Amino acid sequence: MLLEQVELCGARRVSLVGIAKHAGKTTAMNELIDQATAKGRALGIVSIGVDGERHDAIMGVPKPEVEVPAGALVASAGDVLEAGTALLRIIERTGISSTLGDVYLAEVQEPGTVVLAGIRYREQVAQVLQMMEAQGADLCLVDGAFDRMMAASPQVTDGVVLATGAVVARTVQEVAQKSAFFLQRFLLPQADEELARLYDAAAASGTLAVGVLREDRLEHVLLTQTSSFTQNPQSDPSWPGLEAVRALAVTGAVTDRLIQMLEGIPRGFALVLSDATHFFVSQSAWRKFLRRGHQIVVRRSIRVYGMTVNPYSVEGHQLPSGELVEAVRAVAGDVAVWNVKE
Amino acid sequence: MTSGSFWDETTKELLGWPEVMASLSPVSPAGLRAKRQIKPYLPSERSLWEERMDDLLMLRSALGDEEWAKELRDALRQLPDVEGLLSLIEQGATLRPVDFFELKRFFWQGFAVERLLQEGGLRFRFWEQVAWEEHLRRLNPPGELVPSFSLAELSSDAELMRLHREHSALNEAIFAEKKAQGDRLRARYGRKPGKDGQLVFDRSDPNATAAKQDQDLQLMQETVFEAIFQQVEPERVQELLQQREDKLVEIEDRETEALQDLVSEFRPHAAMLLRALSALGRLDLTLAKAHLANRWQMGAIRWESAGVPSAQEADRAVEGAADAGREASARDRSVTFGWTVEAAFHPLAREAVEKRGGAYTALDLELDPGVGLITGPNMGGKTVVLKTLGLLQALAQHALPVPARLFRFRPVERIGISGGDEQSLASGLSSFGAEMQRLSALLGDSRPALLLLDEVARTTNPEEGEALAIGLASYLLTTGHSALFASHFPGVTEVNGIQGFRVAGLKRDLLDRLEESAPQDLLQRLYSAMDYRLLKSCAGDVPKDAVRLAKCFGLPQAVLEQAQAVLQRKEGPTS
C-alpha cells in the first residue's frame, strides 16, 4: 500500500510528480488521500500550478478531481476556492498572490472536491506547508504539475511518489524504458563527503566550484561564473586546466549543454548538483557522459516512496495493465510499483 | 514648475525627498495609500496642519509603551485592503466567500486597533466610530468570535449547512451502493472491478459466460483471449447521482442567495466602512510618522504665521522639545517670523558622513524673511545647508516629522532649489543656459516662495557672474520671497539688507598638517579639519582657502605660485 511505504519512512511531506501530463498523478494522490483518511491522518493538500480542474485546460479531457475529506487543510486561490463541491471554512490568508487571486488556507468542513490553484514557486510551497503544519496537519501532500519538479526538492518535501503510465508511449516496453529513465533521475547517487564539501563551497560563494586533486585531497577552486547557462566553465579565468580538475559543483540547473561542454575532460570526472530537481539532461547526453567514465551525483538525494502506473492513455489507447506493471517493476529495482487503477 | 504646485520634480530630487520618504513606512495598504496622498499644507491651511501635527504628537507620546506600540503596529500590518470590496458592496455587486473572509479580517483588525487605542487612552478626531463587534458577529458563527469564515456556519444560514449535510449523505449513499455492487460482484466472481470499473475474464473462464447475463456488468469487448466487462451503474446509483446533482444546484443557488443577503446587509454601511478604512490608513501613517520622529529625535516644530505668535503656538513649540532653556529663547526670537533651526540634519548627508566614520555637524540657523547669503570654503557644506533647510521646510509643510531639535518655520506657497549645474544634454543647453532657464522659472511665479540658490552664475565669467548674483539678491529683497543663497562672490555680501552667514571653515591649526598629508589620507583629514558650523558674518567676509586647498590636492607648485602672485597683485597677500 502506498501510504505504508510513506509511513515506514516517517514522512510528513510527500510530493507527487508525474512523468507527463495525465500519467495518473492526481489519481495516485486521491488514493493516498483515501488511505490517509482511513487511518485518521490530519491532511494538508497543496498543488503547484493549476490542478484539480474538472476538465483539463489543455486537452479538454475529463481530469480526476481532488477529493478532500472533512478536516483536511487545502490551499487555493480565492477565485477557485469555491469551485469544487467541498464545503470549506476559510481560516488564513497566506499572503501569496496569483492570477487567480490571493491564496487562502481553508479547512474542509464537508467532504467533496476542490480546485487547487495559485501556488507556483518552491518557496510558496514551503511557506504553505509550514502554515498547514502549524494548523495541525501531520501529513502534507504536494501535487506538482507535470512540469514542476520543484515539489520534490528535498528542501521542501521528505520524498516523492512518481506517476508513470501509458500516456508516454504506445508499447509496454517503451513505457517501461521511459519510466526507467524518469526514475533514474530521482535515484541519482548522493555525493560522498568530499564532493558534498565542494558543493557546499559553491553554494556558499554562489559561483561554480571546481575540485582539483592535490595530495589526495580535493582542493576547492571557486570560479567567477555564477551560472552554468551562459559560459563554458573551461573559459572561466579561474579554471585550473583540463588535467587538474576532478569535479565541478553547480548550484543551478544542469542541462545537456553543460554536460556536452564537459565531455572532453579526462575520465573519472564528477559533476555535483543540488538535487534531482535541477537535472534536465536528456537520456542520450547522460548516457554518453557516463560512458566517458564520468559520474553525476547530487548533494541531497530524493527519497522515492514508490511509482504508480496508469495503463490508460488520454489519447485513447490502453496497455495491458498486468504486463505493464510487471515491465515497470522489472526496471524499478527496489522501488515499489502499483497499478494506480486497481 | 507646474503652475500652482508646491514644488517641481527637480527640487524634490535635489532635496533628497524620494529617499527620505522611503524611510516613512506605514505597514498596511491603507497606510501606504494615505502616504501616497500626503500633500503640503499651504499658509492658508494652518488648522488642518495643526490637526495632523497634534495627532503625530499624541501618538508619539504613547510610543513609550513599546509593547503597546508593537501590538498596534502588528494589528495594522494585518489590516487587509478592502477598499475595492467595500466599493463593490456599495454598488450591490455579489462577492465571493473569500471576500467576506477579508471583510471579517478587516473588522477583526479594526476592532483590535480600536481596543488598543482605548487602552492607550488615545482619541483621534479623524477616527470613525464603527460597531466593530456587531459587524464581526454578522460574519461569525453563533458563540465565540473566531477569525475564520464559513458561509454555511453563519447563524442566519442553517439552511446551507443542512444542504451540505444532505449532499454528504448522498455521497455516502452512492459510495455504499457502489460498494454493495462491488461486494456482490466479488461474491459472484471472486474479485471486484478495479478503479476503472472493469472486470476481465479469460474466455475459457466459466465466469465469462455467467457475466454476460449479469445485470451489474456489461460486455465491452471480446478478444480471442479475453472478455472485458464494464461495471454497470445500478439504477439506484443513477438516481442518487441525479439527486446529488440537484442538491449541488440547490447549494449553489442558496450560496448565491446567502452571499447576496450579506451584501445587502452591509451595503448601508459601506460608505462609513470606507471612511473607517481610510481612518485606519491615516492612523497607520501617523504611527509611521511618530516612529520616524523618534528615530530623528525630533524636538519641536512650529508653524509661524505673519503676526505675533499666540501663546498656544508657543506651547505647541514646547511640546516634545528636549531643552526647555533653548525653547524659551526660541520663543523670544519667534517675533521675527522667519526660520529658527536648531540641531538639524539632512538624513542622507548624515548617513554618508557617519558611514565614512565622521561626526556630523548639525545645523543651527536663524533666518529672517528676506535673503540670506552663505559663504565659505569649497567642501564646507554650503549646499548641505541649503538642502537641509529645503528638506525641513518641505517635511514640515507636509505635516511630517523633521530631523531637528527645533524647527520654527514660515509656511510658503512653494519651494524651489537651483543647484547651479543644471546642464541638460536633452535640451542642448549649457550649464549656464540651463541654470538661467531654471532661475527664470523659479522667479516667474509670484506666489511667495522659499528659494534655495546654490552658487548662482558660477559657470559663466566671474565678473558677469558676480553681477548677476548681486542683481538677483537685490531683486529678491524687493519680492515677497525668502531665499537662501550660497555664493563665493564677495560682491553679494555687500548687498544692502542681506543676512550674512559663513561656514566656519578650515581650522587653521589643522590646515598646515593637511598640506603634509599623504594623498590617501587627504580627504579624511580634510573632513576633520573642516569646521562645518554656520556662523553669522558681515559684508566682505568671504574665506579664501581655495589656493591652499588646491595645494593640498597636489596641484603643481608653479601653478600655485602664479595664482598667489595674481592674488597679491589684486588685493594683497592671502591669509
What does pLDDT average to over chain A?
87
pLDDT band for position A317 (cuts 50, 70, 90): confident
Taking 50 as the threshold, does the pLDDT of residue B471 lie above it? yes
Q: Rounded distance, CA B435 to CA B422, Å?
A: 6
Taking 90 as the threshold, does the pLDDT of residue A80 lie above it? no
Q: Is A292 exposed, middle or buried (0-12, 13-18, 19+ CB in 10 A)?
A: middle
Degrees to nearest 5, angle at CA B26 with B22 and B31? 120
Predicted pLDDT at B562:
84
Q: Which of B96, B150, B167 sits opposite A89 (nearest CB)?
A: B150
Q: Do A110 and B194 touch (CB under 8 A)?
A: no
Taking 70 as the threshold, does the pLDDT of residue A100 lie above it? yes
How remote is the C-alpha of B416 from its chain's centroid?
Answer: 22
* C-beta of residue A247 within 8 angstroms of C-beta of residue A217: no
Please give the residue of chain A at the shortest CA–CA distance from B226.
Answer: A320
Which sign, positive or negative, has the C-alpha torsion A115, A118, A120, A125?
A: negative
Predicted pLDDT at A145:
64
Which residues on chain B are in Cβ contact (under 8 Å) with A81?
A: 96-98
Q: Is A135 exposed, middle or buried (0-12, 13-18, 19+ CB in 10 A)?
A: middle
List the single best residue of B28, B77, B98 to mutate versus A (max A Cβ within 10 A).
Answer: B98
Q: Do B195 and A87 touch (CB under 8 A)?
A: no
Q: Which of B148, B196, B255 sits opposite A89 (nearest CB)?
A: B148
Taking 60 as the threshold, does the pLDDT of residue B182 lie above it? yes
Predicted pLDDT at B573:
53
Tell me the per-residue pLDDT of B106-132, one tens digit each, with 9 for 90 and over: 999 999 999 999 999 999 999 999 999
Tell me the per-residue pLDDT of B225-239, one tens digit each, with 9 for 90 and over: 888 899 998 999 999
Q: What is the DSSP code string of B346-383? A: -HHHHHHHHHTT--PPPEEEEE-SSEEEEE--TTSSHH
Region B535-562 average pLDDT? 78
With a pLDDT cut of 70, the percent of chain B lying above it is 88
Taking 90 as the threshold, does the pLDDT of residue A243 lie above it? no
Please give the residue of chain A at the shortest CA–CA distance from B249.
Answer: A85
The residues of B whose Cβ lies within 8 A of any Cβ of A are: 80, 96-99, 101-102, 105, 147-150, 152-153, 164-165, 167-168, 171, 194-196, 248, 251, 255
Degrees to nearest 5, angle at CA B492 with B488 and B493? 90
Q: Rounded distance, CA B96 to CA A100, Å?
A: 13
Determine which of A57-61, A223-227, B247-251, B463-467 has the lowest per-residue pLDDT on average.
A57-61
Q: Which of B97, B105, B194 sits opposite A82 (nearest CB)?
A: B97
Q: How far does the CA of residue A330 sit from the closest CA of chain B (Å)?
A: 23
Q: Which of B171, B194, B255 sits opposite A342 (nearest CB)?
A: B194
Region B420-425 average pLDDT? 55
Can you tell me the ipTM of this complex? 0.73
CB burial of B216-228 (b: ≥16 within 10 Å; e: otherwise) equals bbeeeeeeeebbb
Pairing between β-strand B449-454 and β-strand B482-486 as defined by DSSP bridges: parallel
Predicted pLDDT at A66:
84
Q: How far does the CA of residue A83 sit from the closest CA of chain B (Å)?
A: 10
Q: Do B80 and A93 touch (CB under 8 A)?
A: yes
Q: How far does the CA of residue B149 sit from the closest CA of chain A (Å)?
A: 5
Which residues on chain A are in Cβ contact (under 8 Å) with B165?
A: 110
List the single best residue of A73, A82, A87, A107 to mutate versus B (max B Cβ within 10 A).
Answer: A87
Task: Name every residue whose Cβ is closer than 8 Å to that of residue A202 and which is 6 or more positions away in sequence.
Answer: A208, A209, A222, A249, A250, A251, A272
Q: Rounded distance, CA B340 to CA B402, Å?
A: 13
Pairing between β-strand B300-303 and β-strand A73-77 as defined by DSSP bridges: unpaired
Please give the residue of chain B at the shortest CA–CA distance from A28.
Answer: B195
pLDDT band for position B519 (cuts 50, 70, 90): low
Predicted pLDDT at B302:
93
Look at the block and give the residue holding cell 467595500.
B86
Q: Do B164 and A109 touch (CB under 8 A)?
A: yes
Phi-psi region of B556 (alpha: psi -120 to 50; beta: other; left: phi over 0): beta
Predicted pLDDT at A59:
46
Region B453-458 average pLDDT? 84
Q: Which of B167, B196, B248 sits opposite A110 (nearest CB)?
A: B167
Q: Rounded distance, CA A253 to CA B439, Å?
A: 57
List the single best residue of A110, A135, A317, A318 to mutate versus B (max B Cβ within 10 A).
Answer: A110
Which residues on chain B are in Cβ contact (under 8 Å) with A339?
A: 194
List the single best residue of A34, A35, A89 to mutate versus B (max B Cβ within 10 A).
Answer: A89
Q: How far does the CA of residue A266 sit from the closest CA of chain B (Å)?
A: 50
Which residues on chain B are in Cβ contact (under 8 Å) with A341?
A: 194-196
Predicted pLDDT at B428:
58
Please give the residue of chain A at the shortest CA–CA distance from B140.
Answer: A89
The residues of A whose Cβ lies within 8 A of any Cβ of B are: 27, 78-79, 81-82, 85, 87-93, 101-102, 104, 107, 109-112, 312, 321, 339-342
Region B494-509 average pLDDT? 84
Tell me the per-residue pLDDT of B273-326, one tens digit each, with 9 for 90 and over: 999 999 999 999 999 999 999 999 999 999 987 654 444 544 444 444 444 444
Q: Which of A82, A110, A339 sits opposite B164 (nearest CB)?
A: A110
Look at the block and give the residue holding cell 587653521.
B508
Q: How far does the CA of residue B232 sit from the closest CA of chain A (Å)?
A: 17
Q: Which of B97, B196, B248 sits opposite A90 (nearest CB)?
A: B97
Please give the residue of chain B at the shortest CA–CA distance from A322.
Answer: B200
Contacts 24+ apart (CB under 8 A), B353-358: B353/B527, B356/B524, B356/B527, B358/B527, B358/B528
Q: Which of A81, A110, A341 sits opposite B165 (nearest CB)?
A: A110
Taking 90 as the threshold, does the pLDDT of residue B242 lie above it? yes
Half-sphere exposure of B566 (CA within 13 A, CB side): 7
Predicted pLDDT at B357:
86
Region A58-70 average pLDDT? 64
Alpha-carbon distance values, B423 to A329, B232, B426, B428, B437 (Å): 76, 86, 9, 8, 10
Q: Which of A92, A107, A109 sits opposite B152 (nearest CB)?
A: A109
pLDDT band for position B424 (cuts 50, 70, 90): low
With a pLDDT cut of 90, the percent of chain B lying above it is 52
Q: Which of B98, B167, B196 sits opposite A81 (nearest CB)?
A: B98
Region A87-115 average pLDDT? 92
pLDDT band for position B364 (cuts 50, 70, 90): very high
Task: Name every residue whose Cβ is closer than 8 Å to that of residue B373 and which is 6 or more positions away in sequence.
Answer: B473, B484, B485, B486, B487, B492, B493, B495, B498, B499, B500, B501
Tell me the per-residue pLDDT of A206-224, one tens digit each, with 9 for 90 and over: 999 999 988 888 899 999 8
Region A293-303 average pLDDT? 94
* C-beta of residue A12 within 8 angstroms of C-beta of residue A140: yes
List the single best residue of B140, B146, B196, B259 to mutate versus A (max A Cβ within 10 A).
Answer: B196
Taking 90 as the threshold, does the pLDDT of residue B575 lie above it? no
Predicted pLDDT at B330:
45
Task: Name every residue whose Cβ is closer than 8 Å to that of residue B505 and which is 6 or more positions away in sequence.
Answer: B376, B377, B380, B530, B531, B543, B545
Taking 60 as the threshold, does the pLDDT of residue A52 lie above it? no
Predicted pLDDT at B380:
80
Q: How far does the CA of residue A283 sit from the closest CA of chain B (Å)?
A: 33
Q: Rounded distance, CA B352 to CA B360, Å?
A: 9
Predicted pLDDT at B318:
40
Q: Do A341 and B194 touch (CB under 8 A)?
A: yes
Please give the residue of chain A at the shortest CA–CA distance from B252.
Answer: A85
Q: Which of B171, B195, B255 sits opposite A342 (nearest CB)?
A: B195
